[in-house]
A and B are shown apart, each in its own frame.
Chain A
Amino acid sequence: MPTRAARSRGEVPTSGVRERDFRLSASRGVGPTLGIVTNRIVVLGGGTGGTLAANRLRRDLGDEVVITVVDQDDDHLYQPGLLFVPFGLSRPQDLVRSRPAQLHDGIAYRTADIERVDLGAEQVLLSDGVTLAYDVLVVATGARLLPEETEGLTGPGARETVHTFYDLDGATALEGALSRFTGGRLVVNVVDMPIKCPVAPLEFCFLADWYFTERGIREQVELIYVTPLDAAFTKPVAARTLSGLLAEKHVELVTEFNTGEVDGTGGRLVGYDGREVPFDLAVVVPLHGGAAYVDRSPGLGDEFGFVPTDKHTLQSTAAPNVFVIGDAAAIPTSKAGSVTHFEGETIARNVVRFLAGEALDASFDGHTNCFIESGFGKAMLIDFNYDTEPLPGHYPSGVGLPLLSPSRLNHLGKLMFAWFYWHSLLPGRDVPGLTAAMPTAGKHMPVPTRS
Protein backbone atom coordinates (compact mmCIF):
# COMPACT_ATOMS: atom_id res chain seq x y z
CA MET A 1 0.00 0.00 0.00
CA PRO A 2 2.52 2.66 0.93
CA THR A 3 4.95 1.93 -1.87
CA ARG A 4 4.15 3.67 -5.05
CA ALA A 5 5.42 1.94 -8.12
CA ALA A 6 3.91 4.04 -10.81
CA ARG A 7 5.33 7.51 -10.72
CA SER A 8 4.36 9.96 -13.38
CA ARG A 9 6.87 12.48 -14.45
CA GLY A 10 6.54 16.17 -13.85
CA GLU A 11 8.48 19.17 -12.83
CA VAL A 12 9.68 19.92 -9.36
CA PRO A 13 11.15 23.03 -7.91
CA THR A 14 14.82 23.38 -7.18
CA SER A 15 15.69 23.47 -3.52
CA GLY A 16 16.60 26.54 -1.51
CA VAL A 17 13.71 28.75 -2.53
CA ARG A 18 10.83 30.31 -0.65
CA GLU A 19 7.48 31.80 -1.53
CA ARG A 20 8.01 30.89 -5.12
CA ASP A 21 5.02 29.92 -7.16
CA PHE A 22 6.10 26.41 -7.99
CA ARG A 23 4.29 24.40 -10.55
CA LEU A 24 2.25 23.29 -7.65
CA SER A 25 -0.26 21.21 -9.47
CA ALA A 26 2.44 19.20 -11.18
CA SER A 27 2.08 15.53 -10.52
CA ARG A 28 4.78 13.70 -8.62
CA GLY A 29 7.94 14.02 -10.49
CA VAL A 30 11.50 13.27 -11.20
CA GLY A 31 13.99 14.98 -8.95
CA PRO A 32 16.79 17.33 -9.81
CA THR A 33 18.88 14.36 -10.88
CA LEU A 34 16.94 12.76 -13.69
CA GLY A 35 15.66 9.36 -12.76
CA ILE A 36 15.35 9.86 -9.00
CA VAL A 37 11.74 9.82 -7.93
CA THR A 38 10.76 12.74 -5.77
CA ASN A 39 7.90 12.50 -3.34
CA ARG A 40 5.83 15.53 -2.48
CA ILE A 41 5.06 16.31 1.14
CA VAL A 42 2.53 19.03 1.81
CA VAL A 43 2.44 20.39 5.36
CA LEU A 44 -0.72 22.27 6.26
CA GLY A 45 0.07 24.81 8.96
CA GLY A 46 3.24 26.74 9.69
CA GLY A 47 2.93 26.86 13.47
CA THR A 48 4.79 24.76 16.01
CA GLY A 49 3.89 21.33 14.59
CA GLY A 50 4.10 22.15 10.89
CA THR A 51 7.40 23.97 11.26
CA LEU A 52 9.17 21.33 13.32
CA ALA A 53 7.76 18.47 11.23
CA ALA A 54 8.85 20.12 7.97
CA ASN A 55 12.31 20.84 9.36
CA ARG A 56 12.78 17.29 10.65
CA LEU A 57 11.60 15.84 7.34
CA ARG A 58 13.89 18.13 5.36
CA ARG A 59 16.81 17.04 7.51
CA ASP A 60 15.92 13.35 7.28
CA LEU A 61 15.00 13.20 3.59
CA GLY A 62 16.89 16.07 1.94
CA ASP A 63 16.25 16.37 -1.77
CA GLU A 64 14.45 13.04 -1.87
CA VAL A 65 11.27 15.01 -1.21
CA VAL A 66 9.75 18.35 -2.08
CA ILE A 67 8.26 19.90 1.04
CA THR A 68 5.69 22.69 0.82
CA VAL A 69 4.32 24.37 3.94
CA VAL A 70 1.06 26.29 3.68
CA ASP A 71 -0.34 28.81 6.12
CA GLN A 72 -2.73 31.72 5.89
CA ASP A 73 -0.33 34.40 7.07
CA ASP A 74 3.28 35.12 7.94
CA ASP A 75 2.85 35.49 11.70
CA HIS A 76 4.32 32.69 13.79
CA LEU A 77 3.09 33.38 17.31
CA TYR A 78 4.89 32.08 20.39
CA GLN A 79 1.67 31.01 22.07
CA PRO A 80 3.08 30.28 25.56
CA GLY A 81 3.86 34.01 25.76
CA LEU A 82 0.19 35.02 25.55
CA LEU A 83 -0.35 34.27 29.25
CA PHE A 84 2.15 36.97 30.23
CA VAL A 85 0.84 39.79 28.02
CA PRO A 86 -2.15 40.81 30.20
CA PHE A 87 0.17 41.25 33.17
CA GLY A 88 2.68 43.38 31.26
CA LEU A 89 5.28 40.61 31.48
CA SER A 90 5.55 40.04 27.71
CA ARG A 91 5.33 42.53 24.90
CA PRO A 92 3.06 41.45 22.02
CA GLN A 93 5.61 42.43 19.37
CA ASP A 94 8.21 40.11 20.94
CA LEU A 95 6.01 37.03 20.46
CA VAL A 96 5.66 37.08 16.67
CA ARG A 97 8.22 36.13 14.04
CA SER A 98 8.09 35.26 10.36
CA ARG A 99 6.76 31.78 9.58
CA PRO A 100 8.99 30.95 6.58
CA ALA A 101 12.06 32.28 8.42
CA GLN A 102 11.69 29.34 10.82
CA LEU A 103 11.91 26.81 7.97
CA HIS A 104 15.14 25.21 6.82
CA ASP A 105 16.47 26.06 3.38
CA GLY A 106 14.91 23.97 0.68
CA ILE A 107 11.40 24.05 2.15
CA ALA A 108 8.85 25.96 0.12
CA TYR A 109 6.41 28.23 1.93
CA ARG A 110 3.13 29.38 0.53
CA THR A 111 0.75 31.95 2.02
CA ALA A 112 -2.84 30.97 1.25
CA ASP A 113 -6.10 29.95 2.86
CA ILE A 114 -6.90 26.27 2.57
CA GLU A 115 -10.19 25.52 0.86
CA ARG A 116 -10.27 21.76 1.39
CA VAL A 117 -8.42 18.48 1.21
CA ASP A 118 -9.52 15.92 -1.35
CA LEU A 119 -8.42 12.64 0.20
CA GLY A 120 -9.39 10.57 -2.84
CA ALA A 121 -7.47 12.72 -5.34
CA GLU A 122 -4.64 13.25 -2.84
CA GLN A 123 -4.61 16.98 -3.28
CA VAL A 124 -5.17 20.20 -1.37
CA LEU A 125 -7.23 22.98 -2.88
CA LEU A 126 -6.22 26.48 -1.88
CA SER A 127 -8.61 29.41 -1.89
CA ASP A 128 -6.54 31.18 -4.57
CA GLY A 129 -7.40 28.36 -6.96
CA VAL A 130 -4.07 26.55 -6.76
CA THR A 131 -4.06 22.78 -6.29
CA LEU A 132 -1.28 21.03 -4.39
CA ALA A 133 -0.90 17.34 -5.08
CA TYR A 134 0.73 15.28 -2.35
CA ASP A 135 2.18 11.86 -1.68
CA VAL A 136 2.13 12.53 2.05
CA LEU A 137 0.02 15.14 3.79
CA VAL A 138 0.94 16.43 7.24
CA VAL A 139 -1.96 18.14 8.99
CA ALA A 140 -0.67 20.71 11.48
CA THR A 141 -3.30 23.41 11.45
CA GLY A 142 -3.86 23.41 15.19
CA ALA A 143 -6.98 24.52 17.00
CA ARG A 144 -9.23 27.49 16.28
CA LEU A 145 -11.08 29.64 18.80
CA LEU A 146 -14.87 29.56 18.38
CA PRO A 147 -16.23 32.35 20.63
CA GLU A 148 -19.25 32.78 18.35
CA GLU A 149 -20.50 29.33 19.41
CA THR A 150 -21.26 30.54 22.94
CA GLU A 151 -24.29 32.78 23.30
CA GLY A 152 -23.29 36.34 24.15
CA LEU A 153 -19.54 35.80 24.04
CA THR A 154 -19.04 38.03 21.01
CA GLY A 155 -21.98 40.30 21.90
CA PRO A 156 -22.28 43.42 24.07
CA GLY A 157 -19.51 43.64 26.62
CA ALA A 158 -16.91 41.85 24.51
CA ARG A 159 -13.53 43.56 24.99
CA GLU A 160 -15.17 45.66 27.74
CA THR A 161 -16.22 43.38 30.58
CA VAL A 162 -15.56 40.11 28.73
CA HIS A 163 -12.06 39.21 27.54
CA THR A 164 -9.81 36.36 26.54
CA PHE A 165 -6.04 35.95 26.47
CA TYR A 166 -6.00 33.09 23.96
CA ASP A 167 -5.17 35.30 20.98
CA LEU A 168 -2.80 38.24 20.65
CA ASP A 169 -5.45 40.93 20.19
CA GLY A 170 -7.40 39.58 23.15
CA ALA A 171 -4.37 39.34 25.41
CA THR A 172 -3.35 42.89 24.47
CA ALA A 173 -6.83 44.28 25.16
CA LEU A 174 -6.94 42.42 28.46
CA GLU A 175 -3.74 44.13 29.59
CA GLY A 176 -5.57 47.45 29.37
CA ALA A 177 -8.66 46.09 31.11
CA LEU A 178 -6.62 44.63 33.98
CA SER A 179 -4.68 47.85 34.46
CA ARG A 180 -7.99 49.73 34.79
CA PHE A 181 -9.49 47.16 37.16
CA THR A 182 -9.58 48.50 40.68
CA GLY A 183 -11.65 45.85 42.43
CA GLY A 184 -14.59 43.47 42.18
CA ARG A 185 -15.21 39.95 40.90
CA LEU A 186 -12.78 38.65 38.29
CA VAL A 187 -14.06 35.37 36.88
CA VAL A 188 -11.84 33.06 34.82
CA ASN A 189 -13.97 30.61 32.82
CA VAL A 190 -13.22 27.67 30.56
CA VAL A 191 -16.34 27.13 28.42
CA ASP A 192 -15.58 23.52 27.56
CA MET A 193 -12.74 21.15 26.79
CA PRO A 194 -10.62 20.53 24.83
CA ILE A 195 -8.58 23.74 24.98
CA LYS A 196 -5.00 24.57 24.18
CA CYS A 197 -2.70 24.40 27.20
CA PRO A 198 -5.30 23.27 29.76
CA VAL A 199 -3.25 24.65 32.67
CA ALA A 200 -3.09 28.20 31.26
CA PRO A 201 -6.38 29.39 32.80
CA LEU A 202 -5.14 28.19 36.21
CA GLU A 203 -1.86 29.99 35.65
CA PHE A 204 -3.86 33.10 34.83
CA CYS A 205 -5.50 32.88 38.29
CA PHE A 206 -2.17 32.46 40.05
CA LEU A 207 -0.62 35.37 38.15
CA ALA A 208 -3.70 37.54 38.80
CA ASP A 209 -3.27 36.87 42.53
CA TRP A 210 0.36 38.05 42.25
CA TYR A 211 -0.52 41.00 39.99
CA PHE A 212 -3.19 42.45 42.27
CA THR A 213 -0.99 41.86 45.32
CA GLU A 214 1.80 43.83 43.64
CA ARG A 215 -0.68 46.62 42.92
CA GLY A 216 -1.76 46.60 46.55
CA ILE A 217 -5.44 45.91 45.77
CA ARG A 218 -5.62 42.12 46.24
CA GLU A 219 -8.07 42.58 49.13
CA GLN A 220 -10.49 44.36 46.81
CA VAL A 221 -10.43 41.61 44.16
CA GLU A 222 -12.39 38.35 44.31
CA LEU A 223 -10.89 35.70 42.03
CA ILE A 224 -13.15 32.87 40.85
CA TYR A 225 -12.15 29.94 38.61
CA VAL A 226 -15.13 28.37 36.81
CA THR A 227 -14.50 25.06 35.05
CA PRO A 228 -16.62 22.41 33.30
CA LEU A 229 -14.44 19.74 34.93
CA ASP A 230 -15.30 18.14 38.26
CA ALA A 231 -11.97 19.34 39.72
CA ALA A 232 -9.26 21.93 39.06
CA PHE A 233 -7.57 19.59 36.57
CA THR A 234 -8.26 16.34 34.77
CA LYS A 235 -5.72 14.17 36.60
CA PRO A 236 -6.35 13.33 40.30
CA VAL A 237 -2.92 13.89 41.90
CA ALA A 238 -2.29 17.15 40.05
CA ALA A 239 -5.90 18.24 40.65
CA ARG A 240 -5.40 17.92 44.40
CA THR A 241 -2.19 19.97 44.32
CA LEU A 242 -3.71 22.63 42.07
CA SER A 243 -6.91 22.83 44.15
CA GLY A 244 -4.72 23.34 47.20
CA LEU A 245 -2.84 26.12 45.45
CA LEU A 246 -6.09 27.82 44.41
CA ALA A 247 -7.33 27.70 48.01
CA GLU A 248 -3.99 28.96 49.34
CA LYS A 249 -4.23 31.95 47.02
CA HIS A 250 -7.91 32.52 47.87
CA VAL A 251 -9.21 31.68 44.42
CA GLU A 252 -12.75 30.29 44.60
CA LEU A 253 -13.26 27.11 42.56
CA VAL A 254 -16.60 26.46 40.79
CA THR A 255 -16.73 23.02 39.14
CA GLU A 256 -18.98 21.21 36.64
CA PHE A 257 -20.18 24.52 35.23
CA ASN A 258 -21.19 24.28 31.57
CA THR A 259 -21.42 27.83 30.29
CA GLY A 260 -24.50 28.35 28.14
CA GLU A 261 -24.38 32.14 27.96
CA VAL A 262 -21.99 34.97 28.71
CA ASP A 263 -23.98 38.09 29.56
CA GLY A 264 -21.47 40.92 29.27
CA THR A 265 -23.98 43.67 29.97
CA GLY A 266 -25.54 41.98 32.98
CA GLY A 267 -22.17 40.71 34.18
CA ARG A 268 -22.98 37.02 34.62
CA LEU A 269 -22.15 33.59 33.30
CA VAL A 270 -25.25 31.47 32.89
CA GLY A 271 -24.86 27.69 33.05
CA TYR A 272 -26.97 25.28 31.05
CA ASP A 273 -28.18 23.93 34.39
CA GLY A 274 -29.46 27.37 35.41
CA ARG A 275 -26.64 28.32 37.78
CA GLU A 276 -25.27 31.85 37.49
CA VAL A 277 -21.86 33.29 38.32
CA PRO A 278 -21.76 37.10 38.52
CA PHE A 279 -18.67 39.02 37.40
CA ASP A 280 -17.29 42.52 37.00
CA LEU A 281 -14.61 41.29 34.61
CA ALA A 282 -14.68 37.91 32.87
CA VAL A 283 -11.71 36.18 31.26
CA VAL A 284 -13.22 33.47 29.09
CA VAL A 285 -11.44 30.70 27.22
CA PRO A 286 -13.74 30.07 24.25
CA LEU A 287 -14.66 26.74 22.70
CA HIS A 288 -11.99 25.27 20.43
CA GLY A 289 -12.38 23.44 17.15
CA GLY A 290 -10.11 22.41 14.31
CA ALA A 291 -9.34 24.56 11.29
CA ALA A 292 -12.34 25.50 9.14
CA TYR A 293 -11.14 23.64 6.02
CA VAL A 294 -11.30 20.35 7.95
CA ASP A 295 -15.09 20.71 8.09
CA ARG A 296 -15.09 21.27 4.32
CA SER A 297 -12.97 18.15 3.66
CA PRO A 298 -15.16 15.03 3.49
CA GLY A 299 -13.87 12.22 5.67
CA LEU A 300 -11.01 14.15 7.26
CA GLY A 301 -12.25 15.41 10.64
CA ASP A 302 -14.56 14.64 13.54
CA GLU A 303 -17.56 16.68 14.71
CA PHE A 304 -15.24 19.38 16.09
CA GLY A 305 -12.92 19.58 13.09
CA PHE A 306 -10.10 17.68 14.77
CA VAL A 307 -8.56 14.82 12.81
CA PRO A 308 -8.96 11.27 14.18
CA THR A 309 -5.46 9.88 14.50
CA ASP A 310 -3.72 6.78 15.78
CA LYS A 311 -2.41 7.94 19.16
CA HIS A 312 0.86 6.00 18.89
CA THR A 313 1.81 6.29 15.18
CA LEU A 314 0.22 9.71 14.45
CA GLN A 315 -1.17 8.36 11.18
CA SER A 316 -4.69 9.64 10.54
CA THR A 317 -7.54 7.19 10.36
CA ALA A 318 -8.83 9.08 7.30
CA ALA A 319 -6.13 7.91 4.89
CA PRO A 320 -2.81 6.08 5.28
CA ASN A 321 -0.78 8.89 3.69
CA VAL A 322 -2.14 11.57 6.03
CA PHE A 323 -0.29 12.21 9.29
CA VAL A 324 -1.27 14.62 12.03
CA ILE A 325 0.81 16.57 14.54
CA GLY A 326 -0.08 18.96 17.34
CA ASP A 327 -3.41 20.44 18.36
CA ALA A 328 -5.13 19.36 15.11
CA ALA A 329 -5.07 15.71 16.18
CA ALA A 330 -7.99 14.09 17.98
CA ILE A 331 -5.88 12.07 20.41
CA PRO A 332 -6.23 11.81 24.20
CA THR A 333 -3.37 14.08 25.18
CA SER A 334 -3.06 17.78 25.98
CA LYS A 335 -3.05 20.34 23.21
CA ALA A 336 0.34 21.78 24.09
CA GLY A 337 3.63 22.71 22.48
CA SER A 338 5.58 20.15 24.47
CA VAL A 339 3.34 17.37 23.16
CA THR A 340 3.88 18.62 19.63
CA HIS A 341 7.65 18.62 20.18
CA PHE A 342 7.57 15.06 21.49
CA GLU A 343 5.39 13.99 18.54
CA GLY A 344 7.95 15.43 16.11
CA GLU A 345 10.30 12.49 16.39
CA THR A 346 7.54 9.92 15.80
CA ILE A 347 5.87 11.71 12.91
CA ALA A 348 9.15 12.29 11.05
CA ARG A 349 10.19 8.67 11.51
CA ASN A 350 6.80 7.42 10.35
CA VAL A 351 6.61 9.59 7.24
CA VAL A 352 10.04 8.28 6.27
CA ARG A 353 8.93 4.70 6.93
CA PHE A 354 5.68 5.19 5.05
CA LEU A 355 7.50 6.46 1.97
CA ALA A 356 9.86 3.49 2.19
CA GLY A 357 6.94 1.08 2.47
CA GLU A 358 7.99 0.00 5.97
CA ALA A 359 5.84 -0.67 9.02
CA LEU A 360 5.13 2.38 11.19
CA ASP A 361 6.64 2.93 14.60
CA ALA A 362 4.00 3.07 17.35
CA SER A 363 6.26 4.91 19.78
CA PHE A 364 4.44 8.10 20.79
CA ASP A 365 3.50 7.63 24.47
CA GLY A 366 1.43 10.79 25.01
CA HIS A 367 4.31 12.54 26.78
CA THR A 368 3.28 15.99 28.07
CA ASN A 369 5.42 18.44 30.00
CA CYS A 370 4.08 21.75 31.31
CA PHE A 371 5.46 24.51 33.44
CA ILE A 372 2.68 26.03 35.51
CA GLU A 373 3.31 29.62 36.60
CA SER A 374 2.23 29.88 40.22
CA GLY A 375 3.01 33.58 40.72
CA PHE A 376 5.63 35.47 42.72
CA GLY A 377 8.45 34.27 40.46
CA LYS A 378 7.75 30.59 40.92
CA ALA A 379 6.38 27.81 38.76
CA MET A 380 5.43 24.15 39.06
CA LEU A 381 6.26 21.45 36.56
CA ILE A 382 4.07 18.52 35.56
CA ASP A 383 5.14 15.63 33.37
CA PHE A 384 2.88 12.77 32.28
CA ASN A 385 1.81 10.50 29.43
CA TYR A 386 -1.08 8.29 28.34
CA ASP A 387 -0.50 5.83 31.18
CA THR A 388 1.12 7.83 33.99
CA GLU A 389 -0.58 10.83 35.57
CA PRO A 390 1.44 13.84 36.80
CA LEU A 391 3.32 12.70 39.90
CA PRO A 392 5.56 14.41 42.45
CA GLY A 393 9.34 13.92 42.31
CA HIS A 394 11.96 15.48 40.06
CA TYR A 395 12.41 15.87 36.29
CA PRO A 396 14.02 14.38 34.27
CA SER A 397 15.83 12.47 37.02
CA GLY A 398 16.29 12.53 40.79
CA VAL A 399 18.41 15.71 40.69
CA GLY A 400 16.29 17.66 38.20
CA LEU A 401 13.52 20.22 38.45
CA PRO A 402 10.95 19.68 41.21
CA LEU A 403 7.65 18.23 40.00
CA LEU A 404 4.25 19.38 41.28
CA SER A 405 5.84 21.89 43.62
CA PRO A 406 6.31 25.66 43.12
CA SER A 407 9.96 26.63 42.69
CA ARG A 408 12.00 29.53 41.36
CA LEU A 409 13.98 27.11 39.18
CA ASN A 410 10.86 26.08 37.28
CA HIS A 411 9.97 29.72 36.67
CA LEU A 412 13.42 30.26 35.15
CA GLY A 413 12.87 27.10 33.11
CA LYS A 414 9.64 28.53 31.74
CA LEU A 415 11.34 31.79 30.79
CA MET A 416 14.26 29.96 29.16
CA PHE A 417 11.85 27.82 27.17
CA ALA A 418 11.14 30.70 24.76
CA TRP A 419 14.77 30.58 23.60
CA PHE A 420 14.66 26.82 23.16
CA TYR A 421 11.39 27.16 21.26
CA TRP A 422 12.85 29.36 18.51
CA HIS A 423 16.34 27.83 18.42
CA SER A 424 15.91 24.11 19.14
CA LEU A 425 12.30 23.03 19.06
CA LEU A 426 11.20 24.67 15.79
CA PRO A 427 14.39 23.69 13.91
CA GLY A 428 13.48 20.13 14.86
CA ARG A 429 16.41 19.53 17.17
CA ASP A 430 16.17 17.62 20.39
CA VAL A 431 15.93 19.88 23.45
CA PRO A 432 18.13 18.95 26.44
CA GLY A 433 16.05 17.12 29.03
CA LEU A 434 12.99 17.02 26.77
CA THR A 435 13.08 13.50 25.37
CA ALA A 436 10.17 12.03 23.48
CA ALA A 437 9.65 9.12 25.87
CA MET A 438 8.47 10.17 29.33
CA PRO A 439 11.24 9.63 31.92
CA THR A 440 10.34 7.82 35.15
CA ALA A 441 13.69 8.05 36.99
CA GLY A 442 12.87 10.95 39.33
CA LYS A 443 9.15 10.32 39.76
CA HIS A 444 7.49 8.98 42.88
CA MET A 445 5.83 6.13 41.03
CA PRO A 446 3.06 4.26 42.82
CA VAL A 447 3.98 0.78 44.03
CA PRO A 448 2.11 -1.71 41.82
CA THR A 449 -0.59 -3.50 43.72
CA ARG A 450 -0.62 -7.27 43.61
CA SER A 451 -3.59 -8.78 41.94
Chain B
Amino acid sequence: MPTAVYAGTPVTVTEEGFYLDPDQWREDMAPEIARDAGIDVLTDRHWQVIMHMRKEFAGKGTGPTVRALGRTSGVSIKELYLLFPKGPAKLAARIAGIPKPRGCI
Protein backbone atom coordinates (compact mmCIF):
# COMPACT_ATOMS: atom_id res chain seq x y z
CA MET B 1 0.00 0.00 0.00
CA PRO B 2 1.21 3.53 -0.76
CA THR B 3 2.44 5.82 1.95
CA ALA B 4 1.62 9.52 2.07
CA VAL B 5 3.21 12.12 4.33
CA TYR B 6 0.94 14.65 6.03
CA ALA B 7 2.08 17.15 8.67
CA GLY B 8 5.46 15.44 8.56
CA THR B 9 4.06 12.02 9.46
CA PRO B 10 3.91 9.04 7.08
CA VAL B 11 0.48 7.37 6.85
CA THR B 12 -0.78 4.32 4.95
CA VAL B 13 -3.37 5.10 2.30
CA THR B 14 -5.12 3.31 -0.57
CA GLU B 15 -4.43 4.01 -4.25
CA GLU B 16 -7.31 6.53 -4.07
CA GLY B 17 -5.81 8.24 -1.02
CA PHE B 18 -8.13 6.91 1.69
CA TYR B 19 -6.63 6.18 5.10
CA LEU B 20 -6.55 2.53 6.05
CA ASP B 21 -6.20 3.29 9.74
CA PRO B 22 -8.22 6.28 10.99
CA ASP B 23 -6.08 6.34 14.14
CA GLN B 24 -3.16 7.60 12.03
CA TRP B 25 -5.11 10.80 11.33
CA ARG B 26 -4.54 14.07 13.20
CA GLU B 27 -6.39 17.35 12.77
CA ASP B 28 -3.28 19.14 11.50
CA MET B 29 -3.14 16.69 8.58
CA ALA B 30 -6.58 17.67 7.25
CA PRO B 31 -5.59 21.03 5.66
CA GLU B 32 -2.80 19.30 3.69
CA ILE B 33 -5.09 16.54 2.40
CA ALA B 34 -7.66 19.19 1.49
CA ARG B 35 -5.07 21.23 -0.44
CA ASP B 36 -4.09 18.09 -2.37
CA ALA B 37 -7.77 17.77 -3.32
CA GLY B 38 -8.05 21.40 -4.40
CA ILE B 39 -9.66 22.88 -1.27
CA ASP B 40 -7.43 25.74 -0.16
CA VAL B 41 -9.06 26.66 3.13
CA LEU B 42 -11.07 24.51 5.54
CA THR B 43 -13.86 26.61 7.03
CA ASP B 44 -15.91 25.87 10.15
CA ARG B 45 -18.53 24.30 7.89
CA HIS B 46 -15.91 21.96 6.41
CA TRP B 47 -14.82 21.01 9.92
CA GLN B 48 -18.41 20.35 10.97
CA VAL B 49 -18.67 17.76 8.20
CA ILE B 50 -15.18 16.31 8.80
CA MET B 51 -15.79 15.73 12.51
CA HIS B 52 -19.23 14.32 11.76
CA MET B 53 -17.67 11.84 9.31
CA ARG B 54 -15.27 10.62 11.98
CA LYS B 55 -18.04 10.30 14.57
CA GLU B 56 -20.22 8.30 12.16
CA PHE B 57 -17.31 6.06 11.22
CA ALA B 58 -16.50 5.41 14.87
CA GLY B 59 -20.11 4.46 15.57
CA LYS B 60 -21.01 2.51 12.44
CA GLY B 61 -17.78 1.25 10.93
CA THR B 62 -18.35 3.02 7.61
CA GLY B 63 -18.56 6.63 6.51
CA PRO B 64 -21.97 8.03 5.60
CA THR B 65 -23.26 8.47 2.04
CA VAL B 66 -24.04 11.94 0.68
CA ARG B 67 -27.70 11.37 1.38
CA ALA B 68 -26.99 10.38 4.97
CA LEU B 69 -24.69 13.38 5.40
CA GLY B 70 -27.50 15.64 4.17
CA ARG B 71 -29.75 14.17 6.87
CA THR B 72 -27.37 14.00 9.78
CA SER B 73 -24.49 16.48 9.45
CA GLY B 74 -26.49 19.69 9.70
CA VAL B 75 -25.27 20.68 6.22
CA SER B 76 -27.60 20.36 3.21
CA ILE B 77 -26.62 18.28 0.19
CA LYS B 78 -26.41 21.42 -1.94
CA GLU B 79 -23.97 23.03 0.49
CA LEU B 80 -22.02 19.78 0.78
CA TYR B 81 -21.37 19.95 -2.96
CA LEU B 82 -20.18 23.56 -2.58
CA LEU B 83 -17.86 22.63 0.28
CA PHE B 84 -16.57 19.37 -1.20
CA PRO B 85 -17.06 19.63 -4.98
CA LYS B 86 -17.76 16.56 -7.18
CA GLY B 87 -18.21 13.92 -4.50
CA PRO B 88 -18.76 15.16 -0.93
CA ALA B 89 -18.94 11.75 0.77
CA LYS B 90 -15.69 10.49 -0.74
CA LEU B 91 -13.79 13.76 -0.50
CA ALA B 92 -14.86 14.47 3.08
CA ALA B 93 -13.95 10.88 4.01
CA ARG B 94 -10.47 11.33 2.56
CA ILE B 95 -9.91 14.59 4.42
CA ALA B 96 -11.36 13.09 7.62
CA GLY B 97 -8.90 10.20 7.40
CA ILE B 98 -11.47 7.40 7.27
CA PRO B 99 -11.74 4.55 4.76
CA LYS B 100 -13.75 4.97 1.56
CA PRO B 101 -17.49 4.82 2.39
CA ARG B 102 -18.85 1.44 1.38
CA GLY B 103 -22.10 2.92 0.15
CA CYS B 104 -25.13 0.78 -0.33
CA ILE B 105 -25.76 -2.42 -2.21
Contact = CB atoms under 8 A, between A and B. Distances in A.
B12 interface: no
A304 B87 CA distance: 20
Which DSSP category, helix, strand, loop or mixed, fits chain A's interface?
loop
Contact of A193 (B65, B71, B77): B65
A232 B105 CA distance: 12
B66 A273 contact: no
A287 B77 contact: no
Given A260-B77, A272-B78, A303 B105 contact: no
A264 B72 CA distance: 29
Contacts, number: 42
A229 B77 contact: no
A384 to B, nearest CB: 9
Nearest to B88: A272
B103 A304 contact: no
Nearest to A271: B81
B66 A260 contact: no
B72 A272 contact: no
Contacts of A229: 103
Interface string B59-90: 00000011110011000011011000111000
A193 B105 contact: yes
B75 to A, nearest CB: 13
A25 interface: no
A303 B66 contact: no
In which size bucket is the chain B interface? 10 to 19
B72 A193 contact: no
A304 B77 contact: no
A258 B71 contact: no
A332 B104 CA distance: 7
B102 interface: yes
23 contacts: A192-B66, A193-B103, A193-B104, A193-B105, A229-B103, A258-B66, A258-B77, A260-B77, A272-B77, A272-B78, A272-B81, A273-B81, A273-B86, A273-B87, A287-B67, A303-B68, A303-B72, A304-B67, A304-B68, A304-B71, A332-B104, A332-B105, A333-B105
Interface of A: 192-194, 198, 229, 234-235, 256, 258, 260, 272-273, 287, 303-304, 332-334
Given A194-B104, A234-B104, A304-B71, 13 more contacts: A192-B66, A193-B103, A193-B105, A194-B105, A258-B66, A258-B77, A260-B78, A272-B77, A272-B78, A272-B80, A304-B68, A332-B102, A332-B104
